[in-house]
A and B are shown apart, each in its own frame.
Chain A
Amino acid sequence: MKSVKAAKRLSAFIRYFVLIVILLMLLFPLYWVVLTSFKTNMEAYAYPPTFIAQNPSIQAYINLFTENAEFFVYYKNNLIVSGATAILTTLLAVLGGYVLSRFHYKWNSLVAAILYASQMFPVVSRMISLYGLMGKVHLLNTRTGLTLALLGAMVPFTTMLMSSFFDSIPRDIEEAAIIDGCTRPQVLTRVVLPLVKPGLLSVGIYSFLMTWDDYLHCATLIQSDALRTLSTGIALRYLGELSYDWSLVNTISVVAMLPMILLFFFFQKYMVKGLVAGAVKG
């Protein structure tokens, strides 16, 4: 009896140990960034490093807000582009996902395969052609062009994600609605859509988060600093060839990731559900 208890205690110990080690690995870098953002540059360059800021300073934040107006321009651009992409993506994903889930034509699996394969193609391989294409329709260096290109990148995965949400809605409801005299479009908008609201939210937030992460599309399609989004803007402006300003870089990192983290925690329920549904049931 005693050995069972000991074994239990040991297993608990191992479990907490694993938990703490992995969590530390995941979370300590974040603490480190936040910490560095409150250090002065000279303290940041001290070795051995200090684990608590000796002279906590919000100078880097003040500099960011007073001298680096362009940072907030990137921010605004990113909100516009990611927001628009998220809305359009959700719309297309709902339409396409519904078809994939509900109608089983011969070409259905082909479409699904195309969508799936599309996620695999390396972005680099598409950029030159995409550039020429956008040039032809005069959408280079515009937020519209960037949004469309990102839409293209997001639609394949989100359509399949959405179709898995539709899969979880029982068909009987639709059949009943059709017997009641509803047309197909009515079934979709009045009956099915309200049922997949969580799916809509998670697809929307997912594509928002993913486009917030974009680097290559913006780096290639946008040349004007006033139109850049966050990742590209940061990589291009604050990692200059002349010199580093680590304190500022860390401050920027904090300010740039905070809204995403908050967004995730706020909509966590939907996000987790969406991601799990998309992957597990797919």
Chain B
Amino acid sequence: MKKQMKWTAAAMAAVMAFSLTACSGGTDSGSTSQASGTAETSSGEKVTIKFANYALLEDAYTEFWEGVKTGFEAENPDITIEWVTAPYADIVSTVTTMAGGGDKVDMIFGEGTWTSSLVDSGLIIPVTDVLSQEYLDGFYENSLEASMVDGEIYTLPMYMSPFILYYNTDILQKAGVESVPTTYDELLAACEKISGMTTEDGNAIYPFGQTTASVAISGSAINSMIFNFGGEVLTADGQLSIDNDGFKQTFEMLKQLDEKGYTPENCKLKDLRNLFALGQLAMYYDQSWGISGVENINPDILSVTASANPLAGGSGEGASLLSTQTLFYCDNGDANRAACAKLTEYLMSDEVLGDYLNNIVPGYPTLKTMSMPDNPVLQGSLGSIDKAVAAPSVPAMNDLNLELCTLAQAVTVTGTDVDTAIEEFRTAATNIIG
């Protein structure tokens, strides 16, 4: 092995040198095979829908989606659903790399925030290629707005949620907080009362939780908080716009909350759900469906859980970010598209989705014909949906969200001052958006 060590450097250098010559010499790159698509299927033949779905890997959702497959296949014996799974954070790269290998999925279950980058990658097709305009007319306006790129609807919103404030009624009562905070000032006052309390087995109770760990969804949560303060990250046409009070106030608030020890640091949403489920967190921001994660850990906590509209801060009026859970479509020929349309209509029916929203994943319907959820936990925040706005999206939304997390971490765990951190963010964000 000794001898080889000497050779190694030479060999590696040779590989690099060779690459360089190959590179300058020709245009042949790491091209991959052309997407072959699935075989054309004429009507009457069997169609297989490849459905990429991360939720299948989440315990709380698995049963529902398996039920969809069984129910739909029973109704449509000539269509089969084939699952393609990857975890939440990896599903986009999974379907894109698959497409690169010539294997396109037909449908993807995901988030509205993915739309831009999926459009940019050329993987998905407009929803109007799959479903009729009349059908789309049945959806709420703001849910469709959240699904548009350049005026074209690229994803079908299944259900939606703003980031709402969950709170533990029991803790608030014991702390003597009489009414649920509606502004950030009231939040700080409430936090002061709660701070120092412990659970029965002696664990500290955190007054407030906001996710800042490096996953894209945390970026959306921070974005929502910026909306709370009446600020913005991007202009409507996707330009970086961070020189507004709301933006800065958001991070000053995060810093303040962290310095006073009111929030657990660098948490993912699931960490917050875990703490909340164990009664160690009094209030936190989450999407409506986050509560199923809480329930998974400790169902008993639901009896003391309630929700409230997002807080208002600065000159903001309590707007929040509208998140949608959506369906994306890819083009694998007419037969597959028709099958996707059938599956969509089946999924969006009252019996299937209505049941899902009421019993499994609390969320707000996007179809006007569907009634608002009767989930008791959500009653306090029903009004929030009207004030929720869709964020303008850019292809690099994912990266931008991650940079927002980095900014939040800089002012909290690293302790950088807000102005410096925002300047660092500006450099990084300009690099991403260009």
Contacts and interface: CB of A to CB of B under 8 A. Distances in A.
- A and B touching (Cβ–Cβ under 8 A): yes
Interface of A: 41-42, 45-47, 109-110, 112-117, 120, 128-129, 131-132, 134-136, 140-141, 160, 219-220, 223-225, 235-237, 239-245, 279, 282
Contacts of B59: 240, 242-243, 245
Contacts of A244: 270-271, 274, 297
A131 B97 contact: yes
B87 interface: yes
Contacts of B1: 116, 160, 279, 282
A117 B87 contact: no
6 contacts: A47-B202, A116-B1, A120-B12, A240-B87, A242-B293, A279-B1
B32 A135 contact: yes
Given A135-B32, A242-B60, A244-B271, 19 more contacts: A45-B274, A45-B278, A109-B3, A110-B11, A112-B4, A129-B30, A131-B97, A132-B101, A140-B101, A141-B103, A223-B84, A223-B85, A223-B98, A240-B58, A240-B87, A240-B88, A242-B292, A242-B296, A243-B293
A225 B57 contact: yes
A179 B25 CA distance: 53
A273 B44 CA distance: 63
B273 interface: yes
B269 A241 contact: yes
Contacts of B217: 241
Nearest to B274: A244
* B interface bracket (residues with beta carbon within 8 Å of A): 35 or more
B27 interface: no
Contacts of A134: 101
Interface string B1-27: 111110110111001000000000000
A40 to B, nearest CB: 11
Interface string B287-306: 00010111011100000000
A114 B297 contact: no
B389 interface: no
B126 interface: no
B197 interface: no
B45 interface: no
A220 B93 CA distance: 9
Contacts of A245: 59, 296-297
B203 interface: yes
Contacts of B290: 242
Contact of A243 (B32, B215, B270): B270
Interface of B (DSSP majority class): helix
B33 interface: yes
Contact of A224 (B10, B32, B84, B215): B84
Contacts, number: 134
Contact of A113 (B11, B101, B292, B293): B11
> Which residue among B10, B11, B33 has the maximum number of chain A CB atoms within 10 Å of its CB?
B11
Given A45-B278, A46-B201, A241 B12 contact: no
A237 B359 CA distance: 23
Nearest to A282: B1
Contacts of A132: 30-33, 100-101
B12 A243 contact: no
B100 A224 contact: no
Contacts of B83: 224-225
Nearest to A239: B87
Contacts of A129: 30
Contacts of B87: 235-237, 239-241
Nearest to A220: B97
B90 A237 contact: no
A63 B390 CA distance: 41
B240 interface: no
B86 A223 contact: yes
A120 B33 CA distance: 28
B98 A109 contact: no
Contacts of B314: none
Contact of B101 (A116, A135, A240): A135
A240 B102 CA distance: 28
B268 interface: yes
> Which residue among A47, A116, A235, A240 has the maximum number of chain B CB atoms within 10 Å of its CB?
A240
B90 A236 contact: yes
Contacts of A120: 8, 12
Contact of B98 (A110, A115, A140): A140
A135 B102 contact: yes
B407 interface: no
Contacts of B12: 117, 120
Contacts of A42: 278, 298
A116 B5 contact: yes
B171 interface: no
Contacts of B202: 47
Given A128-B30, A223-B98, A241 B88 contact: yes
A249 to B, nearest CB: 12
B56 interface: yes
A42 B84 CA distance: 33
Contact of B10 (A113, A219, A220): A113
A131 to B, nearest CB: 5
Nearest to A236: B87
Across the A-B interface, the 5 shortest Cβ-Cβ residue pairs: A135-B101, A113-B7, A132-B32, A282-B1, A243-B293
Contact of B57 (A41, A47, A131, A236): A236
A161 to B, nearest CB: 10
